[in-house]
Structure 1
Amino acid sequence: MSDEDGLDVAALLERHTEYVAKVGCGVSHFQVMITEHGTQCFRIIRTDGSGTDFSYPHCISQRPPSRKQEVAQAFRRAVRFDLYKARDNFFATHSGSDGLVSCAVTGERITRDEAHMDHRPPMTFEVIVTTFLCGRGLSLDNVPLTTGKDDQVSPEVMDHALSEAFRAYHAGIARLDFVRNSVNLAQASRHRLKDGRITLAG
């Protein structure tokens, strides 16, 4: 990142609710990094060579993720390699000679980089997480998470047995569609649980 852009990012970082912990011994420079989910975020390189990521939406809103969002992120992280495998298998089976597949919503031909995996309603990812926890009598606060670690783009479930149980549950119930990334993001809010449906405390 250029020095000029770095000044803007430094000003943005000052709004982070964990500013002191993120800066640590001091900032050397900033980088743009690709997360494991294929999205981009900013990364701080400290003067001692250590580094950590930070979320610019967090800086703008000054609102950390809710417990529900953190739990969902952690369970999504638990199944990420299963999702990658499903994507690779789908492209190996359904792609044409051009290496493209059809978007399940628009029918457009899309590349692997353009394809997002969408959990087919009614068993959206939110519903899968909710029913998994409710079936075990667990609340959001019962899920032990790692949070606040350097370069931890998303939290992790600390209970390995719980994480593996979710992977098995997800594998048995999830039905995936492959859609263009812009379509997936646009329709995500329509499938969120509404008031009056099953919810979790936490």
Structure 2
Amino acid sequence: MAGRSKPVDLATRSFATQGEATAFFKAMLNRYRPGEQVNEEDALDIAALLERHTEYTAKVGKGVSHFEVMMTEHGTQCFRIVRTDGSGTDFSYRNCITQRPPSRKQEVSQAFRRAVRFDLYNARDAFFATYGDENGNATCAVTGEPITRENAHMDHRPPMTFEVIVTTFLCSRGLSLDSVPLTTGRDDQVSPEVADQTICEEFRAYHSSVARLDLVRNTVNLAQASQHRLKDGRASLT
């Protein structure tokens, strides 16, 4: 928690803690729908925040025309830069606030999650087709409340959480984090990709064989993520 207590000073405003800055830009992001252009007032704050990005020069390119909001492949929203030459790319406001790029472990996990994203979408759609009610809703496995397809995630049931699946897959094939070839940092590449198609397909097959999935509300799934991380002393991706 020490990092979240650090102040965040921008050219346009200051925040006493990283938590305050995160809440401010999260609320801003959620005021927009995918495809909408950010208004001029909010754009000033985003431009000031962007200056903190660890890859600022590459993100800005030849200059910023405006900002907009885009939908990621994981069903969440993020800010997007539209450059003066018409090109564009996404960026993480959280990374700007913490000024910490994703770790190798996070990048590998994101890449493998990207590899199975359509399998997870298909599992979600099959669940709704089988168990959805007349209003198109299904039941959250955690809260018991009705949820729509738009706010539903497929959660990996413990003990085979997604992190455990990635860890055991790598260990079984003698792979380390550094030996997984990734493509990162490309324009509009919200998450890294596994560059080796053979590894990608092998992981999809392994994931399909061991994953046990529950349908949960997206906010519940994100809240549970930290609880399912590997604890010290267990198998590790490092």
Please report the TM-score for the alignment, with normalisation by the length of structure 2.
0.83
**1:97-116 mapped onto 2 (5 Å cutoff):** 97-116=134-153
CA distance in 2, matches of 1:137, 1:145: 17
- Residue type at the aligned position of 2:218: N
Select the residue among 154, 158, 161 that pairs with 1:121: 158
Cα deviation, 1:63-118, whole Å, max 9, x if unaligned, reads: 00000000000000000011111111110011111211111111111111121110
CA distance in 2, matches of 1:181, 1:189: 14
Distance in 2, matches of 1:14 and 1:93, equals 48
Mapped pair 1:131 → 2:146: no
State how far apart, in whole Å, the 2-side matches of 1:64 and 1:10 are.
Answer: 18
In the alignment, residue 151 of structure 1 is paired with which amino acid? D
User: Any gaps of 5 or more consecutive residues in structure 1?
Assistant: none
Q: After the TM superposition, which of the residue ranges 67-76 and 100-109 deviates more from structure 2?
A: 100-109
Instruction: Write the distance in 2 (CA, Å) between the matches of 1:35 and 1:64.
Output: 18
Distance 1:197 1:173 in 2: 19
Task: Answer 1 or 2: higher relative contact order, Cα 8 Å, separation at least 6.
Answer: 1
TM-score, length of structure 1 as denominator length: 0.98
Select the residue among 77, 87, 93 that pairs with 1:56: 93
Question: What amino acid is aligned across from residue 77 of structure 1 in structure 2?
Answer: R
Question: In the TM superposition, what whole-angstrom CA distance separates every residue of 1:15-70 from its partner, at most 9, and x where no partner exists?
Answer: 00000000010001100111111111111111100000000000000000000000
Give the CA deviation at 1:180.
Answer: 1.3
Share of identical aligned residues, percent?
78
Distance in 1 of aligned mates of 2:84 and 2:219: 38
* Displacement over 6 Å in runs of 4+: none
Aligned partner letter, 1:191: H
- From 45, 53, 62, the equivalent of 1:8 is 45
3-state secondary structure, aligned to 2:74: coil
Partners in 2 of 1:153 and 1:112 — Cα distance?
22
| Cross-structure match for 1:75 | 112
1:200 Cα shift?
Answer: 2.3
1:1-202 matches, within 5 Å, as 1-201=38-238
Cα deviation per residue 1:166-196 (whole Å; 9 max; x = unaligned)? 0000011101001112221222111110000
**In 2, Cα distance between equivalents of 1:200 and 1:119:** 18
Please, what is the CA RMSD of the aligned residues? 0.7
Compute the displacement of 1:164 (Å): 0.3
Q: Residue 17 of structure 1: SS of its match in structure 2? A: coil
